Structure 1
Amino acid sequence: MRFWLNLLGYQAAWFIAVGFAARGLAWPGMLACLGFAAISWWMSPLRRSDLQLMVAALACGLLLDGVLAATGWLRYAAPSPALPGPAWIATLWVAFAMTLQHSLQWVIARPAIAIVFGVIGGPLAYWGASRGFDAVVFTMPLQATLTLAIGWSIAMGVLTAISRRHTAIAHQSGASA
């Protein structure tokens, strides 16, 4: 049951963030993403590592979307408030982090699959936000898509490594107890 709540909760937050951003409103999506992250974190038995994943995902998002915004390869609807990229995108990264040890936990033990998931899934999410909602405009489609694929593959590698490290530590401390 927790799996489905996490999966559907993230999808709802994504649709709210993207849908309202397309209408020029960042705050409903930010609230939805942060609300999802807070509730998921509160219900999580892995709070410490989830918190570290949220911080790492936020850093990845700020870097990747900051680069894409600065280069102009992507133009975001609801660009303010900007962190270097739009805040609604940054909070989506935080919400996404809360899926990694929950509804997407199957990718944690499979780093190659996680990286492929990033290469394909990252750009597809942005293209979905673009084509379905006009929340993102690809001004330089090839450059932006390649940057997203590379950025998301690195992010997924980093985020799954953080999670695996915490899983290994938990197993070691559990085995020695």
Structure 2
Amino acid sequence: MLRFWSNVIGNQLVWLCAVVGAGHGLWWPALLAAAVYVASQLAWSPQPSVEARLMGVAIGCGLVVDGLAGGTGRVVYAAAHPSAWLAPIWILALWAAFAMTLTVSFAVLQRHLRVAALVGLLLAPLAYLSAARGWSSVTFAAPTWQGVAMLGLGWAVALPLLAACARHWQRRMDPINTLAAGEAR
């Protein structure tokens, strides 16, 4: 239970550091908070190689989802790279931190990929809207709904992909499940 709550609260603290920092034009608070959080989650993880692989895929998703949103001009990120097509480092730090939740607090999504798509479609854009309204770390070009829809659709694809990767890699790496599957044959 302690791992679950530290996973949830730690991820939220990374998000807060990232959006407040970006709202002030700073990318490094996100990087620092994410580094501490990711390191702690890797240390607690029974399968750190799974978490590390998920982090790589999540950063790739962030490059695509937020890179497209920024590159099209639908979403403008504070503390961003000079190229709008490159997702800002603070956003990528958030994706890396989020990857740590896929085997702990969001592990249920591994068994429910449609729910993962729905969560991505509906809830992920709320985080961006909160960042925009609360700290001005993200702004949306008019009409706002287009940027929100673009992010929602991107997350609706990315989150089930990440959940499926988590499920697949955990099964492959878990010697107890592997042994049980072999005995069942």
Q: Equivalent of 1:88, from 68, 87, 90?
A: 90
**Alignment of 1:167 onto 2:170:** yes
Partner of 1:103: helix, strand, or coil? coil
Return the letter of the residue paired with 1:24: G
State the shift of 1:172 in Å. 4.3
Q: In the TM superposition, what whole-angstrom CA distance separates every residue of 1:126-161 from its partner, at most 9, and x where no partner exists?
A: 001001111100114122111111100100111011
Q: Equivalent of 2:135, from 113, 133, 136?
A: 133
Partner of 2:76: helix, strand, or coil? strand
**Alignment of 1:70 onto 2:44:** no
Contact 1:81 1:87 in 2 (8 A): no
Q: In the TM superposition, what whole-angstrom CA distance separates every residue of 1:36-84 from its partner, at most 9, and x where no partner exists?
A: 1121112111212111110000000011111111111111111137681
1:153 aligned partner: 156
Whole-angstrom distance in 1 between the partners of 2:28 and 2:82: 9
Partner of 1:75: helix, strand, or coil? strand
Q: Equivalent of 2:116, from 114, 117, 130?
A: 114
Whole-angstrom distance in 2 between the partners of 1:24 and 1:10: 21
Whole-angstrom distance in 2 between the partners of 1:167 and 1:30: 27
Whole-angstrom distance in 1 between the partners of 2:120 and 2:158: 7
Query: What stretches of structure 1 of length at least 5 have no aligned partner?
Result: none
Q: CA RMSD in A?
A: 1.6
Q: TM-score, normalising length from structure 1?
A: 0.94
Q: In the TM superposition, what whole-angstrom CA distance separates every residue of 1:8-62 from its partner, at most 9, and x where no partner exists?
A: 0010110011001100111011110122112111211121211111000000001
Query: What stretches of structure 2 of length at least 5 have no aligned partner?
Result: none
Percent identity over paired residues: 37
Rg larger in structure: 2
Return the letter of the residue paired with 2:158: A
